[in-house]
Amino acid sequence: MILLFSSIAIGTVLIIYLTLSVLDKSPGNEKTERISNIIQKGARSFLFQEYTVFFPIVIVLALLFTFTTGYKQALSFIIGSVFSVLAGFFGMMIATKSNARTAWGATKGVGEALDIAFSGGAVMGLTVSVLGLLGLSIVYLTFGLQAVSYYSLGASFVALFARVGGGIYTKAADVGADIVGKVESNLPEDDPRNPAVIADNVGDNVGDVAGMGADLYESYVGSIFSGIALGYILFGDKGILNTLYIVGFGLIASILAIILVKVLSKMNTEPALALRSGTIASSVVFLIFSLAYAIIEKNLNLFWVVLIGNIVGVAIGLITEWYTSGKKVEKLAHSAMMGPANVIISGTALGMESTAVITIIIAVGTLLAYKIAGLYGIAMAGVGMLATLAMNLSVDAYGPIADNAGGVAEMSGLDKSVRAITDKLDALGNTTAAMGKGFAIGSAALTAIALFANFGSTAHVQEINLQDPKMFIGALIGAMLTFFFSALTMNAVGDAANDMVEEIRRQIKEIPGILSGTSEPDYQSCIKIATKGALKRMVLPAILAILAPIILMVGLGVQAVAGLLIGSTVTGVALAIFMANSGGAWDNAKKYVEEGHLGGKGSFTHKATVVGDTVGDPYKDTAGPSLNILIKLMAITSIVFYSIVGRWL
Amino acid sequence: MILLFSSIAIGTVLIIYLTLSVLDKSPGNEKTERISNIIQKGARSFLFQEYTVFFPIVIVLALLFTFTTGYKQALSFIIGSVFSVLAGFFGMMIATKSNARTAWGATKGVGEALDIAFSGGAVMGLTVSVLGLLGLSIVYLTFGLQAVSYYSLGASFVALFARVGGGIYTKAADVGADIVGKVESNLPEDDPRNPAVIADNVGDNVGDVAGMGADLYESYVGSIFSGIALGYILFGDKGILNTLYIVGFGLIASILAIILVKVLSKMNTEPALALRSGTIASSVVFLIFSLAYAIIEKNLNLFWVVLIGNIVGVAIGLITEWYTSGKKVEKLAHSAMMGPANVIISGTALGMESTAVITIIIAVGTLLAYKIAGLYGIAMAGVGMLATLAMNLSVDAYGPIADNAGGVAEMSGLDKSVRAITDKLDALGNTTAAMGKGFAIGSAALTAIALFANFGSTAHVQEINLQDPKMFIGALIGAMLTFFFSALTMNAVGDAANDMVEEIRRQIKEIPGILSGTSEPDYQSCIKIATKGALKRMVLPAILAILAPIILMVGLGVQAVAGLLIGSTVTGVALAIFMANSGGAWDNAKKYVEEGHLGGKGSFTHKATVVGDTVGDPYKDTAGPSLNILIKLMAITSIVFYSIVGRWL
């Protein structure tokens, strides 16, 4: 516990230091500051409205818990929800403060820009870890172990709203801006004459920063919960302690790595080298700490499973990169020469093909972890994968900041050399983000399997009777729900993007001088449309995830719920991998052509790759990542709901 | 047994009569006869080459069975394979004989054309049923019950090759012909100046007729096998007898319905009315027979589960129609106004959404059937759904004949009124085919669940231990395999289509006068390319389906195989529904625009819907239907392989 609290304390100090150091930088000239302010206001306003949509539901659920299981569980649920909100909100605030500063920093050099952008990202990464651990400690020490599942439920519940809502917002703005701006009016990316350009930049913040923050907060908390819950069942207090030590090592290793990157960027090291050094250092330091602890505790198995988790995460990341860059993407771009239909067919097949190796890696990792340390081993492999989240997320969150900085630079007419620097930083972020996605998918699979085992223990389902088809029926429904859920989120993006397209077309038609740049478009109305579209359409998917296990448990019993979790997990994992990699490959195929290959920008091939990229947007940034949360939320809902109604079933 | 044999005998007589009556009709003038001959030769040549690819594998497997379980099993396996081949081959031969005759018949009137096309389809429908039952009777009476699973394995094994090989062929030719012919050179459908036009028509026969015949032969045999196997386990010989009676009633009802359609078409009844009367009559007569039998046997539950199967099949068919026509398709066509990316996103979401209602129907049907008559009830619901296959398949197979007749009419320059009649018959076939797809998906799900229960009994896996993740690992791999398998088949279509596009472009460039119609293109080289492409690429997917359960059983044991079957079934069902309905909706959205809506042919919207249709082609005609076979083939392989190696596990 001392280790845990000191790592939390050091992390908090570092967050404050980094925040101050970012705010200390100049936000640039009047123009960059103004644009940054509009983005920030739009993002903040969206988040506040988002909260008013789901907080009433949180309160209702909390009241329900108060009257059924007690106020401790209700408070834990609220803490999980509120901390998740705080993690996303705080990370996003600092990200929106960092964009103009990064752009301005880029006028001084790449080292300065990297320093600011990475500091902004690191605030996010550290906040998610520190809040996750702090909340967990408070709940565990105050209310005891049985309240932790409610804390985890709160985190998952908010995460799904944040991911789905943010995902719809960002892609509706992105797709809308692309269709009218780029394709119809031939405006370049981030051109201030495009009415949806600010909404697009707001979207990066609410989707890629706040949404991702809540998402990874959920993954982090979920994996730790499954670790301590299974640890306690199998080894008592020692199981909990071991989990917390591992998590603490990860946070300390991340803190050291973040400082390393800061130092390297001050020394004007090549950005790619600085970031890679940090990522590798965090893993190495973490593994050394874990090994030392395992030797001292004479529990080497603990180290092995943590190592397996780390290797699985890295391996998935590498495979993801293999499928979304290099030769695979070149081949995909070549298929675009035959037209949009071929690039869609080839990209779909590419994503589906990529499920094979990744699933086998997950399967082998799961099996090895189980052979070494039983179900607890599987859970701890998940914890090992996410322990250095603070560092990995810092790199992840730095990407959208660099992306936004480019937008600010473009819109405020800064020198082209500035945009070149931010583009370079952005591209780097994309490569490292592939690794992050690998960790997200891998940890979701391992955590879901561990949560499933947890549900089995909680609900006393040790065995599934194969002569009774209830499990199979549940599994059919679980598999279907992942498709249905994806349909809902993709339709939401499509509908909201249509509204956006109509609004942009209206403005270009009704406000003369927009395209010539003599009058300013109405940015606010586009922001409002994206906000309204996302809020209206995020509720149904989230409700579905909560209600499905409840309805099935009441209607068909726990065997059907076990089936539901099996079906949704295995299908959700495959579907999420497919969507992430098809989307990533299409995105990069477009970029490959834009670099001047196969005819370059504006060619027939380029237009075909733009179609692929547009289809991939909701795949990789809305439906795909939401699936990772969905499968865990259903598992935790099942565990919590059984603890409420189990005695009557 | 007397009922069964008399129905087989009557069916055989009717097949002979229908065949003679088709051959008796005039194949038209020299031109129609010549084209029909080229198509027939191409189709026959493909099938023979296909046989040379998979028959060696059949022989090797049969030898393996001889030395492990005995010659009886080996012979049963060969009978299953050979009869499946015969069903597809004979059906296709008569279909290729019918096309020119239908075109020529259309010069005399719609009644005559319907009569010929339907007779050709009915030969196919009856052949599949009669051969299925005949083979089953031979194997069961000669070698006993334990050999029937090998018979079923043979049917499934050949079906996968036929579906995948035929599916690749037909879509490679179709996509290739469309891309260069329609889009680049602005040739109409079935224009004789298109070098791939004959390959396209050959594809309809080897894919939609021979492939579908082998597919449904497999479904029919698989459902009956699961019925008699579970029936024997639960009720002894009586369970087998009940199953055979139900199947016999279905065949007799189909025979009566086919005769009814023939009579109605001779009376020049409206084609839609004639076909619908036949379909309804077959169901009604079948249910009356079943009810009477159930009352006599004092086993009303048998009737209820058969009724449930029928209702589930019809309900899925209606939902399929709802999602692939009318308002849903109009909305999809509207989304195409925003461009190809939007129509792809909307169509994908539409297909994914459609999984919800269909899965719930399957789940409710399964649950009810189980409540009424246990696992045997689930199997018998599947049998009830497919009992009237002879009639349903007659309508299904009539569609491609009418389609081909249109092609022959176009290529041989018959009067436009002829094409109008065949188009009408073709459109009618599409609507009724939606119903057929519903039966295929529904019966695949029910049969797979029944086969899974069967595997549980065979391998003595009564329960799955949730504290051991092997089942979960198997399920992850099963889910992944359905995606990987789809990737393989879609890539196969893409690659083969690319070869085709290059060949067509080469011909248009190198042979002057093709486009002006003064010199004939080299049809044969296009046929060869499609043949080679399909044969080369059909082996890996099929091998995968056989090896996966074997590797998992040897490597991880029966719990993992149980997981494999759960994961592949639930994901495969969802993926198959998604692909079938997205593909169907895109196809009809294109047709909707071609009817003159939203700008009509050649408009921006039309081009976007063509992209949707092209993407949908491998979805709905290659990957989607193959998944239905895949999940059953893996289940039967598991059952058979356990019977060989189980004693050592």
Q: Residue B474: what pLDDT?
A: 96
Q: Residue B126: what pLDDT?
A: 95
- Here the tokens at position A311 are 């290797």
Residue B192 three-state SS: coil
Chain B residues touching A335 at Cβ < 8 A: 494, 498
- Here the tokens at position A368 are 């090895």
Q: Residue A355: what pLDDT?
A: 97
Residue with tokens 């091998």: B543
Quick one: CA dihedral B159, B164, B168, B170, positive or negative?
positive
Residue B392 identity (one-letter amino acid)? N
Pairing of strands B463-465, A463-465: antiparallel
- Here the tokens at position B78 are 């060969």
Q: How far is CA B453 from the centre of its chain?
A: 24
Residue A590 identity (one-letter amino acid)? K
Q: How far apart are CA B177 and CA A169, in angstroms?
A: 40
Q: Give the Cβ contact number of residue A547 at 10 Å.
A: 11
Any idea what the Cα angle at residue B414 is, between residues B409 and B417, rounded to 5°?
90
Residue B569 three-state SS: helix
On average, the pLDDT of chain B sits at: 91
pLDDT band at A153 (very low <50, low <70, confident <90, very high): very high
Quick one: CA dihedral B491, B494, B496, B499, positive or negative?
negative
What is the mean predicted confidence (pLDDT) over A124-146? 94
**Model confidence over B82-117: pLDDT tens digits?**
999 999 999 999 999 999 999 999 998 888 999 999
Distance from CA of B453 to the nearest CA of A (A): 6
Q: Residue A62: what pLDDT?
A: 95
Residue A107 three-state SS: coil
Alpha helix positions (H), B412-469? 416-458
Q: What share of chain B is helix, strand, coil (3-state, %, to 5)?
A: 90, 0, 10
Indicate if the pLDDT at residue A141 is higher than 80: yes
Q: Residue A436: what pLDDT?
A: 73
Indicate if the pLDDT at residue B175 is higher than 70: yes
* Share above pLDDT 90 across residues of chain A, in percent, rounded to a whole number: 61
Counting Cβ atoms within 10 Å, is residue B648 exposed (0-12), middle (13-18) or buried (19+)?
Answer: exposed
Q: Are the C-beta atoms of A195 and A514 separated by less than 8 Å?
A: yes
* Share above pLDDT 70 across residues of chain A, in percent, rounded to a whole number: 99
Which of A328, A467, A483 is the mutation pick for testing B, counting most B CBs within 10 A? Answer: A483
Q: How far apart are CA A349 and CA B485, in angstroms?
A: 9
ipTM above 0.90, yes or no: yes
Q: Are the C-beta atoms of B176 and B203 separated by less than 8 Å?
A: no
Q: How far is CA B543 from CA A70, A352, B54, B57, B539, in A?
A: 56, 18, 10, 10, 6
Residue among A358, A555, A572 at smallest CA distance from A451: A572
Q: How far apart are CA A231 and CA A227, in angstroms?
A: 6
Domain ranges of chain B: 2-648
Indicate if the pLDDT at residue A433 is higher than 80: no
If you ran DSSP here, which 8-state letter would residue A468 be given? S
Indicate if the pLDDT at residue A204 is higher than 90: no
CB contact under 8 A, A487 and B618: no
If you ran DSSP here, which 8-state letter would residue B323 be given? H
Q: How far apart are CA B62 and CA B55, in angstroms?
A: 10
**Model confidence over A590-617: pLDDT tens digits?**
989 988 999 988 899 999 999 999 999 9
Residue A60 identity (one-letter amino acid)? V
Q: Are the C-beta atoms of A589 and A333 separated by less than 8 Å?
A: yes
Residue A618 identity (one-letter amino acid)? P
Indicate if the pLDDT at residue A183 is higher than 90: no
* CB proximity list for A621: less than 8 A, separation 6 or greater: A167, A170, A171, A207, A208, A583
Q: Residue B552: what pLDDT?
A: 96
**Model confidence over B192-248: pLDDT tens digits?**
888 888 898 899 889 888 888 888 899 999 999 999 999 998 888 899 999 999 999
Q: Are the C-beta atoms of A194 and A28 separated by less than 8 Å?
A: no
Distance from CA of B65 to the nearest CA of A (A): 28
Which member of A355, A362, A611 has the closest CB to residue B484? A355
Q: Are the C-beta atoms of A258 and A284 separated by less than 8 Å?
A: no
Chain B residues touching A478 at Cβ < 8 A: 570
Q: Give the Cβ contact number of residue A645 at 10 Å.
A: 12
Q: Residue B367: what pLDDT?
A: 96
Q: Residue B434: what pLDDT?
A: 66
Question: Rounded to 5 degrees, what are φ and ψ at A464?
Answer: -110, 130
Q: Residue A589: what pLDDT?
A: 95
Q: How far is CA A287 from the centre of its chain?
A: 24
Chain B residues touching A342 at Cβ < 8 A: 179, 494, 497-498, 614
Lowest mean per-residue pLDDT among A488-492, A571-575, B268-272, B280-284: B268-272
Q: Are the C-beta atoms of A504 and A195 separated by less than 8 Å?
A: yes
Number of H helices and E strands in chain B, helices first, is 20, 1
Which of B566, B568, B579, B614 is the mutation pick for testing A, counting most A CBs within 10 A? Answer: B566
Q: Are the C-beta atoms of A106 and A407 separated by less than 8 Å?
A: no
Q: Are the C-beta atoms of A47 and A92 separated by less than 8 Å?
A: yes
CB contact under 8 A, B470 and A367: yes
Distance, first Cα to last Cα, chain A = 38
- Here the tokens at position A597 are 């290959």
**Model confidence over B280-331: pLDDT tens digits?**
999 999 999 999 999 999 999 999 999 999 999 989 988 998 999 889 999 9
Residue A640 identity (one-letter amino acid)? V
pLDDT band at A291 (very low <50, low <70, confident <90, very high): very high
What is the mean predicted confidence (pLDDT) over A551-564? 94
Indicate if the pLDDT at residue A254 is higher than 90: yes
CB contact under 8 A, A464 and B464: yes
Indicate if the pLDDT at residue B258 is higher than 90: yes
Chain B residues touching A464 at Cβ < 8 A: 463-464, 466, 471
Nearest residue of chain A to residue B564 (CA atoms): A570
CB contact under 8 A, A366 and B464: no
Residue B169 identity (one-letter amino acid)? Y
Q: Give the Cβ contact number of residue B52 at 10 Å.
A: 9
Chain B residues touching A484 at Cβ < 8 A: 352-353, 355-356
**Model confidence over B176-193: pLDDT tens digits?**
888 777 777 778 778 888
Identify the residue with better confidence: A441 or B74: B74
Q: Residue A434: what pLDDT?
A: 66
Q: Report which secondary-structure segment, H or E, holds B464.
A: strand B463-465
Which member of A366, A483, A494 has the closest CB to residue B473? A366
* CB proximity list for A120: less than 8 A, separation 6 or greater: A18, A22, A94, A95, A97, A98, A101, A102, A397, A398, A401
Q: Residue A431: what pLDDT?
A: 67
Which residues are A465's β-sheet partners?
A: B463
Residue with tokens 């909305």: B331
Chain A residues touching B545 at Cβ < 8 A: none
Residue with tokens 């009564």: B462
What is the mean predicted confidence (pLDDT) over A343-349? 95
Which residues are B465's β-sheet partners?
A: A463
